[in-house]
Amino acid sequence: MIISVLSWVWVASGVLLMLLVLLHSPKGGGMGGISASGSSSFTSTSSAEATLDRITWTCLAIFLTLAVILSAGWLT
């Protein structure tokens, strides 16, 4: 029972993680951004972007923790 619930939470966190990554705004122009002016490369993130970062990292931690727990077989 607990394994199936954790499996569903793991799948949901994976889908949510994909959506959160897609919500992020692009940062820089790839290799062209290296030679760009320094002022545009090191701008601070807004409050909304910082909150989105925190939510994404939390979802990633949940996803990876559940992946380790479920794959190690500690609950069987």
> Where would I find the beta strands (DSSP E) of the chain?
none
pTM above 0.85, yes or no: no
The number of domains in the chain is: 1
Distance, in Å, from the CA atom of 46 to the CA atom of 35, rounded to the nearest integer, reads: 24
Instruction: Select from 17, 25, 69 the least CA-distant residue to 43.
Output: 25
Mean pLDDT for the stretch of residues 6-16: 98
- pLDDT on residue 72: 96
Mean pLDDT for the stretch of residues 3-11: 97
Which residues constitute the domain of residue 72? 1-23+46-76
For residue 2, is it within any domain?
yes
Mean pLDDT for the stretch of residues 20-46: 69
Distance, in Å, from the CA atom of 6 to the CA atom of 1, rounded to the nearest integer, reads: 9
